[in-house]
Structure 1
Amino acid sequence: MPTTPTARRPGVLRRIARGIAVPLGALASLSTIAIMIAIAIDVIVRNTSGQSVPGLLEMSESALVATVFLGLAYAGVTNSHVAVDLLTEALPRAVSRVLIGVAWIIGVLVSAGFVLATFERAVESTVSNELRQGLVDWPLWPSRWLVVIGFAAFLVVAVVNVVLIVRGEPLLGEDRVDPDLAAAQQARQQVPERGPEQASEGGQS
């Protein structure tokens, strides 16, 4: 029995990338929920008492950082990042894969630069105990480290995708097959094509 894409066991690199990205994606989702709750509470309190809740705005800003940067790796693992594939879809597959590989190599270089730059900034922020002054003094250095973690996780995903391109394997997210779509395709392959004689008999009956 031929092995279907859904039956393949993910390799070590895929498991590592998903093991890093999925928990971070879950945290990004939780931070989004936290922002929604904080905004709702702040609106209710402001409309009833005329004053904002101290710290909610600052907390929402930090949660927004978590939502954006902790979700980067998950978007790369699920292949759900923004992409314009009008050109690559029209090219031969071999040429398309080369261009995608070049794009991911550039992604590795850019991500590595971001990791180094944000790491240095996070260290400076931690040493100086950087604060945001508002209704409360809110520490900014934890958010700086969230940016570093997000870029570092995305760097891992980019490196894994480069390795997969070199091996000629599907990228992260491309190996996920919709069960309904796969079943429909298999059913179409199993239906025998009707010959001219069968078609004419069907029309006479």
Structure 2
Amino acid sequence: MNSTSPTERVDVLRRIASVITVPLGALASLSTIAIMVAITVDVVVRNLGGRSVPGLLEMSESALVATVFLGLAYAGATNAHVAVDLLTAALRPAVARVLIGIAWLGAVAVSVWFVVATLQRALQSTAANELRQGLVDWPVWPARWLIVIGFAAFLLVAVINVVLIVRGQPLLGEDDVDPDLAATQQARTASPPADPAAVRRDDHSTHHRPEEGSR
């Protein structure tokens, strides 16, 4: 008999997303640092020696691929992706939730397409030992596999978010909201508007009477 509660199953999904996306996000950050270091070294050597360092440009291009595609799933899991909520913010929460769910379903469909297409291209590139010719012959096929990994991880995030929406749970990243800020916003929403007449009476009662010495 399975004794796992729905809450525990949701927590498992969140842990799976964290275990996969956090290391990928860290690698994306390291790739960004590698690009900065490579560009700095190349500029210094070019200014001092009059020539570029062989391989640094090609390495920076591969690192840029890692930065973009390995960080894709982490952005989705932390709710840090670019979003325009002008429409959903004006709708009722239930209606906005349905639209967000439809958007994540679309993300699942598109991600499946991207994973299949990039996987086929990565297999072809690996079989042909695809190279980029420059100052050095730089292999391109490892970067193509990074694209596959990035899209596959984002597909996992999209599927988990769809499951969370169906179960009525916060999306990945939405449960990291500051509790104090959330409580303040909830209190403002729940508090009834003040009575204008009462406010005027309070304002009138707080006027200072003139002191006797000023007569």
**TM-score higher than 0.5 here?**
yes
Write the deviation string for residues 71-109 of structure 1: whole angstroms up to 9, x where unpaired: 000000110101111001101111111110000001001
1:168 alignment partner in structure 2: 168
CA distance in 1: counterparts of 2:21 and 2:111, whole angstroms: 15
Tell me the CA shift for residue 203 of structure 1.
Answer: 3.0
Secondary structure in 2 matching 1:54: coil
SS in 2 for 1:135: coil
Structure 1 pair 106–186 and aligned structure 2 pair: CA distance change class (3 A)? closer
With normalisation by structure 2, the TM-score equals 0.82
Corresponding residue of 1:129: 129
Q: How many residues align?
A: 195
Match of 1:16 in 2: 16
Q: Which amino acid aligns with 1:203?
A: T
CA distance in 1, matches of 2:117, 2:51: 39
CA distance in 1, matches of 2:31, 2:155: 22
Q: Residue 206 of structure 2 corresponds to which residue in structure 1?
A: 203
Alpha carbons of structure 1 residues 187 and 101: separation in structure 2 relative to 1, 3 Å: closer
CA distance in 2, matches of 1:108, 1:83: 17
CA distance in 2, matches of 1:182, 1:168: 18
Q: Which amino acid counterpart does residue 149 of structure 2 have in structure 1?
A: I
Give the alignment of 1:23-34 within 5 angstroms. 23-34=23-34
> 2:138 is paired with a residue of what secondary structure?
strand
Instruction: Tell me the TM-score normalised to structure 1 length.
Output: 0.86
What SS class does the counterpart of residue 12 from structure 1 fall into?
helix
Identity %: 74
2:154 maps to a residue whose letter is F
Secondary structure of the residue aligned to 1:20 is helix
Counterpart of 2:37 in structure 1 is 37
> In the aligned structure 2, how far is the partner of 1:30 from the partner of 1:165?
32
Compute the displacement of 1:18 (Å): 1.2
Tell me how far apart the structure 2 counterparts of residues 144 and 104 of structure 1 sit (CA, whole Å): 25
Larger Rg: 2
1:119 to 1:163, Cα distance in 2 relative to 1, 3 A:
same
What residue number does 1:5 align with? none
Matches within 5 A, 1:17-96: 17-96=17-96
Q: Distance in 2 between matches of 1:204 and 1:131?
A: 82
Partner secondary structure for residue 22 of structure 2: helix
Query: Quick one: distance in 2 between partners of 1:136 and 1:33?
Result: 22
Partners of 1:95 and 1:187 in 2: how far apart?
22
1:181 Cα deviation after fit: 2.4
| Unmatched tracts of structure 2, length 5 or more | 1-7, 189-193, 209-215
Runs of 4+ in 1 over 6 A off after TM superposition: 185-188
* Whole-angstrom CA distance in 2 between matches of 1:178 and 1:58: 42
Amino acid paired to 1:159: V
Shift in Å, 1:122: 0.4
Three-state SS of the structure 1 residue aligned to 2:132 is strand
Higher RCO by CA contacts (8 Å cutoff, separation 6 or greater): 1
Aligned to 1:4: none
